[in-house]
């Protein structure tokens, strides 16, 4: 089934997914993960998803956000791989929401890909969970995703970061903002 949300985003229900009534959130036992999947970086996205399911017994629901051109590719890839057992929904991001908001920067054009801005538009995607985990496609999860999901956030905080990241600069940045 496919439908358009009021925000102009197309939603495709693929795999063993389901739709919740408006205003109702998912069961607390499910860990919702949002990840973007560009056509150019499909392998990276699937590696991230595989790293999550390989390291948890928790029920995970994936929201795979992509552009119109990659919807069929994602569906085909998942259905023909060992990932066919995952629960997921493909959400088509409408890049028109960025019109007039993103200024071209020729020094790093790869950062202008519309999917790089999805994290700022999560409320427009119609996801019914109270909280989700958003992961970039260059992340390999080496522990149980449930541990990250269960991190208690301070009031007003919108993000949590792993303290066991191998990059020293990450520790310094996280500590400098008081997290």
Q: What percentage of the chain reaches a pLDDT higher than 70?
A: 73
Using pLDDT thresholds of 50, 70 and 90, give the confidence band for residue 1: very low
Query: Which are the contacts of 44, defined by CB distance < 8 A and separation ≥ 6?
Result: 137, 138
Which range (47-51, 129-133, 157-161) has the least confidence?
Answer: 157-161
* Residue, of 108 and 164, whose pLDDT is higher: 108
So what's the pLDDT on residue 59?
95
Question: Which tops the pLDDT comparison, 23 or 118?
Answer: 118
The pLDDT of residue 47: 95
> Counting beta carbons within 10 angstroms of the beta carbon of residue 113, is it exposed (0 to 12), middle (13 to 18) or buried (19 or more)?
middle
What's the predicted TM-score (pTM) here? 0.75
Angle at 120 between CA 118 and CA 125, to 5 degrees: 60
The superfamily in CATH containing domain 2-145 is Spore Coat Polysaccharide Biosynthesis Protein SpsA; Chain A (3.90.550.10)
Q: pLDDT tens digits, residue range 111-124?
A: 788 998 998 888 88
DSSP H or E run through 167: none
Phi and psi based region of residue 23 (left: phi greater than 0; alpha: psi -120 to 50; beta: remaining): left
Q: What is the pLDDT of residues 66-87, one digit of tens each?
A: 999 999 999 999 999 999 999 9
């Amino acid at each position: 089934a496919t439908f358009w949300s009021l925000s102009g985003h197309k939603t495709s229900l693929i795999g063993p997914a389901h739709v919740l009534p408006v205003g109702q959130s998912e069961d607390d036992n499910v860990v919702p993960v949002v990840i973007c999947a560009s056509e150019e970086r499909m392998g990276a996205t699937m590696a991230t998803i595989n790293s999550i399911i390989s390291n948890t017994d928790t029920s995970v629901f994936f929201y795979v956000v992509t552009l119109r051109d990659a919807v069929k590719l994602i569906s085909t890839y998942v259905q023909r791989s060992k990932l066919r057992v995952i629960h997921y929904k493909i959400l088509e991001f409408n890049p028109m929401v960025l019109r007039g908001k993103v200024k071209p920067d020729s020094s790093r054009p790869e950062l202008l890909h519309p999917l790089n801005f999805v994290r700022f538009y999560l409320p427009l995607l119609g996801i019914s969970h109270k909280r989700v985990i958003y992961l970039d496609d260059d992340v390999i999860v080496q522990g149980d995703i449930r541990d990250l999901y269960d991190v208690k956030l301070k009031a007003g905080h919108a993000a949590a970061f792993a303290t066991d990241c191998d990059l020293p600069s990450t520790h310094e940045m996280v500590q400098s903002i008081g997290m």
